[in-house]
Amino acid sequence: MIEIQEELLNSLKEIFGDRMKLERDFLEKYSRDETAELEGSMPGIVLFPLTPEEISSVMKLANQYKVPVTPRGAGTGLSGGAIPPSGGIVLSLEKMNRIIEFDEENMMITVEPGVITNEIQKLADRHGLIYGGDPCSSDSSTIGGNVAENAGGNKVLKYGPTGYHVYALEVVLPTGEIVQFGGKRIKDVTGFDMIHLLIGSEGTLGIVTKITLRLLPKPKYSVALLAPFESVEKAIDAVPKLMVKSGTMPSSLEFMDRSSIQSTCKFLNIEFPYSDAGAHLIIEVEGNNKTAVSDDYERIGDICLEEGALEVFVADNRNTREKLWKVRKSIAEALSVYSPVHCMEDVSVPMARIPELIKGAEKIAEKHGLEMLSFGHAGDGNVHVTFVKGDRTEEYWKAHLEPALIELYELARDLGGCISGEHGIGLKRKKYLPIILDESQIRLIKGIKRIFDPNNILNPGKIVDL
């Protein structure tokens, strides 16, 4: 563990006063994120900056004293990105949580990184607009964390991941310079696309201190369908057919298997139709024309039935839609309660290969004698295959998880996919990166990191080791 020198502590205390925390109980909370299988690592101190200038001072001091700095949003990450593996400084962006500007004329909003995503969604909604980013953690994760992870979520199919909505960033570089990238212009090919290099860089290239997001007109009508299927196979086989044959682009096409549904219903203490069915799909369509929306959902419903759905339920008001989504959005939480020892994966493949992914993953689980459940954003090819320890011994779990993971990643690669669609590499998948990226790609990542961060001070040990 890196020791924080007395002199450095004194300088930081002068800047931060009681926004610098050293108490053990406090540090513990900042030692981990939501990645079930990763242990925490204690930071030496936690700082709560309020301005980019304060962050700039921290980075200059950190370079001078060679102490690592780990940026942190809400700590909901699922790849260990906010864990400080060698201690040092955790820089929590929680208190930088102001909405800076709501620019209705340009349909843009500018916020600080600690704003909870859901606040942006609610504000946009009040103005008849939407923010298209919608991770299942939207009521707890920060927009800064979403940008750093290029978070996906439930509406990626229609609106794209977080990065599609970001038009400008203010960033404190690892060396302490404060840089503005982009602006409210829609088009910009002036130089390299630095914004999209920073998005998804998992807090390794800079600390995001201001974000400008584009908002979109809110569709007038929105309908969600719930389609239970007898088996996972039938549900997942229907996904590419729905996408190709329906002649419309759903805003969401989510998949939940029986174990996911049953544990979530138990967790929420609610009843769910056909909760003993093998799997359910949630399909949402939206638009401005009521007749067109109902034509779309009727066609989608018919295809579901042709593909073997046991029934199709229509949620056409806000209340019933929200109830449906509550179940989908609570799966990860229920999993943490009922199966605390698990490994939630995030493989992503081209949409048409999703049936092969699920069937292959089931075979891998069976071969290694592991329990498996799956849920996720099937319409965009991103499924959270999750291995569960259940009543297996610790030794069994440890010995079989690793080879199962490697086979899952190789399967995703061979299907034209990747090892993480939205949760990132962080600490969790670092050693598996060579399964999916070749030497030249990894050399480029390391080279870019060195240019941004010559002393390897910002979030070291994430994505790649230098």
Ligand X SMILES: Cc1cc2nc3c(=O)[nH]c(=O)nc-3n(C[C@H](O)[C@H](O)[C@H](O)COP(=O)(O)OP(=O)(O)OC[C@H]3O[C@@H](n4cnc5c(N)ncnc54)[C@H](O)[C@@H]3O)c2cc1C
Footprint on this chain of ligand X (rule: CB under 6 A): 33-34, 70-78, 81-82, 93, 113, 135-137, 141-142, 144-146, 148-149, 151-153, 202-203, 207-208, 332-333, 422-423, 426, 459
Cβ proximity to ligand X, 30 vs 274, nearer residue = 30
**What is the closest distance, in whole angstroms, from the C-beta atom of residue 218 to ligand X in the complex?**
20
**What is the closest distance, in whole angstroms, from the C-beta atom of residue 105 to ligand X in the complex?**
27
**What is the closest distance, in whole angstroms, from the C-beta atom of residue 24 to ligand X in the complex?**
20
Cβ proximity to ligand X, 69 vs 436, nearer residue = 69
Cβ proximity to ligand X, 7 vs 28, nearer residue = 28
Cβ(136)–Cβ(149) under 8 Å?
Answer: no
**What is the closest distance, in whole angstroms, from the C-beta atom of residue 301 to ligand X in the complex?**
25
**What is the closest distance, in whole angstroms, from the C-beta atom of residue 298 to ligand X in the complex?**
28
Cβ proximity to ligand X, 332 vs 357, nearer residue = 332
Cβ proximity to ligand X, 139 vs 407, nearer residue = 139
Query: What's phi and psi for 140, nearest 5 deg?
Result: -135, -30
**What is the closest distance, in whole angstroms, from the C-beta atom of residue 460 to ligand X in the complex?**
11
Cβ proximity to ligand X, 303 vs 412, nearer residue = 412
Cβ proximity to ligand X, 113 vs 355, nearer residue = 113
Cβ proximity to ligand X, 156 vs 408, nearer residue = 156
- Tokens 């079989």 belong to 400
**What is the closest distance, in whole angstroms, from the C-beta atom of residue 417 to ligand X in the complex?**
16
- Cα angle 206-344-259, degrees, rounded to a multiple of 5: 145
**What is the closest distance, in whole angstroms, from the C-beta atom of residue 462 to ligand X in the complex?**
6
Cβ proximity to ligand X, 333 vs 356, nearer residue = 333
Cβ neighbours of residue 428 closer than 8 Å, sequence gap 6 or more = 35, 37, 38, 78, 79, 80
| Ramachandran bin of 128, using left for φ above 0, alpha for ψ from -120 to 50, beta for the remaining angles | left
Query: What is the three-state SS of the chain?
Result: CECCCHHHHHHHHHHHHHHEECCHHHHHHCCCCCCCCCCCCCCCEEECCCCHHHHHHHHHHHHHHCCCEEEECCCCCCCCCCCCCCECEEEECCCCCCEEEEECCCCEEEECCCCEHHHHHHHHHHCCEECCCCCCCCCCCEHHHHHHHCCCCCCHHHHCCHHHHEEEEEEECCCCCEEEEECCCCCCCCCCCHHHHHCCCCCCCCEEEEEEEECEECCCEEEEEEEEECCHHHHHHHHHHHHHHCCCCCCEEEEEEHHHHHHHHHHHCCCCCCCCCCEEEEEEEEECCHHHHHHHHHHHHHHHHHCCECCCEEECCHHHHHHHHHHHHCHHHHHHHHCCCEEECECECCHHHHHHHHHHHHHHHHHCCCEEEEEEEHHHCEEEEEEECCCCCHHHHHHHHHHHHHHHHHHHHHCCCECECCCCCCCCCHHHHHHHCCHHHHHHHHHHHHHHCCCCCECCCCCCCC
Cβ proximity to ligand X, 113 vs 250, nearer residue = 113
**What is the closest distance, in whole angstroms, from the C-beta atom of residue 154 to ligand X in the complex?**
7
**What is the closest distance, in whole angstroms, from the C-beta atom of residue 75 to ligand X in the complex?**
4
Cβ proximity to ligand X, 205 vs 309, nearer residue = 205
**What is the closest distance, in whole angstroms, from the C-beta atom of residue 204 to ligand X in the complex?**
7
